[in-house]
Amino acid sequence: MVVLCVAGSQAYAQSNSVSGVVRDSHGSPQIGALVELLRPDFSVVRHVYTNDRGRYNFHSVIPGIYQVKASGAFFLPTMRENLRVLGGSRQVVNLTLDTLYEAFRWLPAEPRQASEPKDDWTWTLRLSANRPLLRLLQNGPLVVVTDGSGTEPALKARLTVWGGEAGFGNGGIHNEFEMESSPDEAKAMILRADLTQGGAPALNAVAGFEQRLAMGRSFRTISAVEDRPDISGGPGIQGLQAAEMRSGETMSFGAVQAEAGDSADLVHMGGTLVANHPFAGISMRRGQTLIAYRLSTAPGIQTVEDLDREATVNPALAERNGAPELEQGLRQELDVQRTRGKVRMKMTAWHERVDHPVVTGGGTISRTDWNGGNLLYDGSSGLLRAAGQSLSGNGMLGEVEEQMPASTWVSFDVAIGDALDMSTSAPGSETVTQVLNAMRAAEVPMYSAAVRGKLAHAGTEWRASYRWQDARTVTPVDAFSDSVQDPYLSLFFRQPIHVGHVMPSGFDALVDVRNLLAQGYRPFLSRDGSTLYFAQAARCVEGGLSFSF
């Protein structure tokens, strides 16, 4: 009887199979691609290579739940999840291999730092064939993941209400609406509008469109407008209006990706300022190594993916001699990045020139300083901005990030570069203009550490980081990039709220705290005894509710 049972189970398994074809995004079969059959814990059951027609076949598969993963040179691995193999079944699983460029199709409408976990808006990471997620698996590599359902809606939207002790230009209560629509696989549209109730109603709106073209090309255009009546710039200068038109194109040639774009800015505040900020870059991936060269002329706008981020859409504006000035310049950088298992390492070397670097501060403004025409003041947040002395120099940044158990990531950054130093001040004898003129560029180190993660069952996203830089400096090292952490001690939480049938699903509570301990403040006294300060960043404590549908 035992012999008969064993023979029967073997015959039962032999009738089960998993087969299919592995192609690239253009439909070409991939010869010699590695295909693995995985258990739910990601352990490998068996592996095969595709034949000259891109086909693979797993015979005699024992019934159960599996993942099928395909890998190939110059491609991101792709995996089909939750594959149920039943008795007597013959499953067909066709897989598409894509480059990193082809996997990322659109940014989240809510901007996030590079080190933050992605939210649950699955449309933000989309493949041309089946709109999957991009995920870092337990065994290390990034993979494009799909469950094969194809049931994702083409429209996503989010309502957010938030406020608190915010940064410059972000005071008051914000009512924010975001929407993304994908009419078809080749197009995507985004709309974001933020109506702020502070001392006076303010508006910030962004509309964008992306078109995927043939032969690995895509084109993106973004329009943004901002109206901030609370921001003033000295006697008789009240209200900030800005408009931006941005566009960028990305081209992929196998393992090589090139991109270029431009941002045209129009700012009106007392006077009118028109500026143009082009950028370009080229990168090459070989295996787990990525080498990239980038050129940019404005803070934060280094790639096409940066075009609609809120941190870059708000102009980096200050004032000098009664006229608006944008922080701008020229930055060239070379990046080398390598992934090994669960560890990602990156080295960046750059040369930059920064004109009119923005310095943030606060305090009581004297009449003399206000009449000097070198300060912007935000009545909603109580913060001010000024334009510091231009600086130029070289810098280097090293980053290491590792995935830990329980969906936790740990990262460390070390950098050295130029920042504005405010080390000398004669209390009671200086105006703001004199303090700004006394600032000098200094080469200083920067260190940061961050821990982030997401609790699987509770859905809680969290991040804690600390970035240290000499407290005498009032501008950050690596000002053109946003890859480093927020200044000093910063915390972020996003918690889904489930209250039975009282509230519908999709509600999240948000808390975002930056420079919690208010470190790095450099106070000084003006000639009339008023106290002001400059700092790398003011303390911000923001929170609110978000509803996604």
Residue 142: the pLDDT is 63
User: Cα–Cα distance between 338 and 275 in angstroms, integer?
Assistant: 36
Residue 22: the pLDDT is 92
Residue with tokens 């990601």: 42
DSSP string, 297-362: SSTT-SSGGGTT-HHHHS--EEEETTEEEE-EEEEEEEEEEEEETTEEEEEEEEEEEEES-EEEEE
- CATH 2.40.160 residue ranges in the chain? 155-548
CATH topology of domain 155-548: Porin (2.40.160)
Answer whether CATH 2.60.40.1120 is correct for domain 2-146: yes
Inter-residue contact 270 to 324 (CB < 8 Å)? yes
What's the angle, vertex CA 147, arms to CA 142 and CA 148, rounded to 5? 120
Residue 72: the pLDDT is 85
Residue 70: the pLDDT is 92
pLDDT single digits (tens) 466-517: 999 998 999 999 888 766 678 899 999 999 887 655 556 678 899 999 999 9
Amino acid identity for residue 106 in this structure: W
Amino acid identity for residue 290 in this structure: L
State the 10-residue block means of pLDDT for the chain, 549 residues long.
Answer: 43 72 83 90 89 91 91 83 83 83 42 39 33 55 59 64 88 86 70 82 85 76 91 87 93 88 92 93 90 93 84 86 91 93 92 94 89 90 92 94 86 95 66 88 94 83 93 89 80 84 73 93 84 90 88
User: Cα–Cα distance between 295 and 549 in angstroms, integer?
Assistant: 38
Residue 120: the pLDDT is 36
Residue 262: the pLDDT is 95
In angstroms and rounded to an integer, the radius of gyration of the C-alpha atoms of the chain is 26
Phi/psi at 8 (nearest 5 deg)?
-65, -40
The reply to whether the predicted model has a pTM over 0.75 is no
Residue 392: the pLDDT is 93
What's the angle, vertex CA 93, arms to CA 91 and CA 95, rounded to 5? 170
- CATH 2.60.40.1120 residue ranges in the chain? 2-146
Count of Cβ atoms closer than 10 Å to residue 197 Cβ: 13
DSSP string, 229-257: EEEE-STT-EEEEEEEEEEEEEEEETTEE
Residue 121: the pLDDT is 36
- Spatial neighbors of 71 by CB under 8 A, at least 6 apart, are 33, 34, 35, 36, 77, 97, 141
Count of Cβ atoms closer than 10 Å to residue 28 Cβ: 10
